[in-house]
Structure 1
């Protein structure tokens, strides 16, 4: 299993950043997952779009590895757990149900996102509590949309953040990232079949790129180029 990067978006409030595109809060024992988008590939296939299969199994395997490595007592999904109603095929639900039964002791909470509003809450048999955000957890306000919350530091998803790195041969590489601003931190999309969006970077922002089995800290952006692409 890979090694996480320990960071402090707030002084004295550490988070582990995992290359499996998840964060772990040691103080509460909570694994934080944004934008899993379960059933997205199946949804596209039902529309006749030829996309890869196996994304649900791959995502659940990553969750298994994270639970084993962190010893998490709780998973908080920061919105968009399910992609759409048409993606909830019997085979997809059976995989998720079997996985949930293997982790019956883990508390799971979904802070609803925009896709959850359309897809509906997960089936009750999955035992996932569903709430509207923000969910206050220690110094954090856990929610889907990256918006400031008075009196807390917001952790969110929704925009699937990435960085764009340029090489000497004018090639460009897009990598998912964790992006921590002054009041809001955005986690990368956990789902393996999602797009990405490069966020503007202020000089004080902390940005950490996910590259295969590592999380890498990027140098702070100079003030003169803060409004450009990362």
Structure 2
């Protein structure tokens, strides 16, 4: 059994991956949203006690996904860097080393709200930056989950999670994909991102991620 979920969406075959990413075979593209590189470093700059190693963990997960799938391009649906304080020398050094491992990969970033604050990634990273929406195939690729007048949207920003409720007040929060004809959401990819509980509409399909699997709700 595949750990990922293959779906047909707006005439395209898409793979929803357990590690909170989407693979689009027709474009040999890996899509992620809300990477938030350097978020922990930004919090430490404010003297907040937060875990270390989140940037390394996020980049290692990207390494694994790029190795596992035939990728010509990586598309980031906004919020690549968390803030200007994310540009700590150690964080930038890790990013440059990661980019050298994938020097032939095309990387496109659609600016999100955090990108506008953090500024575009350093030129040496070779990341093509676009304002939203970027129209590719049938989709409008965006950060903000706002409807597009002519194209169905793939977006981030919300960090969607769904809460499974059991007996005796048991609750389990799981990152999820929310697929809809108008606006679909990818889960946040970054290690240190949190989540926002979503309430799907009658036209939406939720796919939960957890335990190295993706499954429909």
Q: One fold, TM greater than 0.5? A: yes
The answer on 1:61 being equivalent to 2:54 is no
- Give the superposition deviation at 1:204: 2.1
Residue 111, structure 1, aligned to residue 100, structure 2: no
C-alpha deviation, 1:200, in angstroms: 2.3
In the TM superposition, residue 147 of structure 1 has moved relative to its aligned partner by 1.0
Equivalences, count: 216
User: Aligned residue for 1:228?
Assistant: none
CA displacement, residues 189-230 of structure 1 (integer Å, 9 cap, x when unaligned): 001101211122112211001113011110xxxxxxxxxxxx
TM-score (norm 1): 0.91
2:38 equivalent in structure 1? 39
Q: CA deviation at 1:19?
A: 1.0
Q: CA deviation at 1:3?
A: 2.9
Q: How does 1:130-169 map to 2 (within 5 A)?
A: 130-169=129-168
The Cα shift of 1:187 comes to: 0.2
Shift in Å, 1:123: 0.2
1:8 aligns with 2:8: yes
Determine the C-alpha separation between the residues in 2 that align with 1:212 and 1:39.
26
Distance 2:59 2:8 in 1: 27
Partner of 1:30: 29
Distance (Å, rounded) in 2 between the aligned partners of 1:90 and 1:213: 33
What secondary structure is seen at the aligned counterpart in 2 of 1:27?
helix
- Cα deviation, 1:150-209, whole Å, max 9, x if unaligned, reads 221100000100101111121111111000122111000001101211122112211001
**Separation (CA, whole Å) in 2 of partners of 1:194 and 1:9:** 27
Name 2:179's counterpart in structure 1.
180
Do structure 1's residue 89 and structure 2's residue 88 form an aligned pair?
yes
Distance 2:181 2:8 in 1: 12
- Other-structure match for 1:124: 123
Which aligned pairs between 1:72-83 and structure 2 lie closer than 5 A? 72-83=71-82
Q: What is the TM-score of this pair, normalised by structure 2?
A: 0.97
Flag as ranges the 4+ runs of structure 1 deviating above 3 A.
none
Separation of aligned partners in 2, 1:8 and 1:179: 14
For 1:47 and 1:193, the matched residues in 2 are separated by 16
